Amino acid sequence: MAAMVALVAVTAAAVLAGGGARAQLIEGFYSHSCPQAEKIIKDYVMEHVPHAPGIPATLIRTHFHDCFVRGCDASVLLNATGGKKDAEKDAAPNLTLRGFGFIDRIKAILEKECPGVVSCADILALAARDSVNFIGGPFWSVPTGRRDGTVSIKQEALDNIPAPTFNFTQLLQSFQNKSLNLADLVWLSGAHTIGIAHCNSFSKRLYNFTGRGGPGDADPSLDKFYAATLRRNKCKTPTDNTTIAEMDPGSFKTFDLDYYRGVLKHRGLFQSDAALITDAAAKADILTVVNGPPELFFKVFAGSMVKMGAIEVKTGSEGEIRKHCALVNKH
């Protein structure tokens, strides 16, 4: 609880006061160089999300996966070169990411408005925030001034993105490696309140948890009735790689507390979801927000998003401002 109370007070100013590159991120970074930048991004989100309701979930996931590899530098958006499949987006955790075209179209509009000014990293951070807010989720500060990275390596994505099979110790270490804490782990996991997952990311919990195989070999930490429903209606075979399931059944398009309620009932899809209630402090934080007003979750989630958005950012003369988000500039 102490960790949660401390995080409630986190503001963008507090997060960015740590010095170094972080301190160079400021709200309104483009107020002179491209005054309409943030409005252009928000307007595009508001116009197109109603026709693509899965966008908020995929953008926030893409932002998360970006920040955990080389910092928030849009390296996850880069294509591999030379016909290889060795960029971050080619790594298994990123193969189901969507929304690259969405970011590209925003970038194209901004390039016409202010050529070579607004980074892809900032576009991703702002669009993720605006899309979540559009569907009724929280609003958080997005200080800007990030620069785009020029390196994207598949193996680094495999090494740094927390796996859905992680236990609590592994999850916490992964977050601590990025200067995030236990509370950040709990609150950022709350993004699973929206979106979907493919069967291959959790089917081992349904069919082959210990290696014996079959529907009798389910993860004992998963509610048996929920597991049976998933086997019957979603992941009908252990080898199903294409069927999708809602992360938060019944409200997967709504940013609310139902994800945490499901976790407390042992109905989280991933082992990493179930892991949250194996730690006493994490479980206590979940109970606090579930039993509190909705705005409490929004506030702590927003604080953790500000922290995540400042991970190892490139600013000043570091990196570049890409002309196209999928390609490093030609020099």
Local structure of residue 285 (DSSP, 8 states): H
**CA distance from start to end of the chain:** 51
pLDDT at 211: 84
pLDDT at 12: 57
In this model, does residue 204 exceed pLDDT 70?
yes
Q: How far apart are CA 279 and CA 169, in angstroms?
A: 9
Which residue, chain included where needed, has tokens 């916490």?
Answer: 172
Is residue 201, in this structure, part of any structural domain at all? no
pLDDT at 250: 87
SS3 call for 196: strand
246 known ligand binder: no
Say what percent of the chain tops pLDDT 70.
Answer: 92
Catalytic residue numbers, as ranges: 65
pLDDT at 13: 53
pLDDT at 241: 87
Is residue 96, in this structure, part of any structural domain at all? yes
316 known ligand binder: no
Local structure of residue 51 (DSSP, 8 states): G
71 known ligand binder: yes
Is residue 231, in this structure, part of any structural domain at all? no
145-176 residue pLDDT tens: 999 999 999 999 999 999 999 999 999 999 99
The count of domains in the chain is 1
Residues β-bridged to residue 324: 327
pTM of the predicted model as reported, rounded to 2 decimal places: 0.92
Is residue 232, in this structure, part of any structural domain at all? no
Q: What is the mean pLDDT of the chain?
A: 92
Q: How far apart are CA 147 and CA 116, in angstroms?
A: 11
* Domain of 106, in residue numbers: 36-195+247-309
What's the whole-number mean pLDDT along residues 105-113?
A: 98
Which two three-digit tokens encode residue 92?
Answer: 């298994």
162 known ligand binder: yes
Q: How far apart are CA 65 and CA 72, in angstroms?
A: 9
Is residue 188, in this structure, part of any structural domain at all? yes
Task: Report the CATH number at residue 90.
Answer: 1.10.520.10
Report the largest interatomic distance among the alpha carbons of the chain, rounded to a whole angstrom.
63
pLDDT at 21: 44
Angle between helices 100-113 and 37-48 (to 10 degrees): 140
Is residue 25, in this structure, part of any structural domain at all? no
55-76 residue pLDDT tens: 999 999 999 999 999 999 999 9
Q: In angstroms, what CA-CA distances link 300 with 124, 137, 236, 281?
A: 21, 12, 37, 15
Is residue 314, in this structure, part of any structural domain at all? no
75 known ligand binder: yes
Is residue 107, in this structure, part of any structural domain at all? yes
84-94 residue pLDDT tens: 999 999 999 99
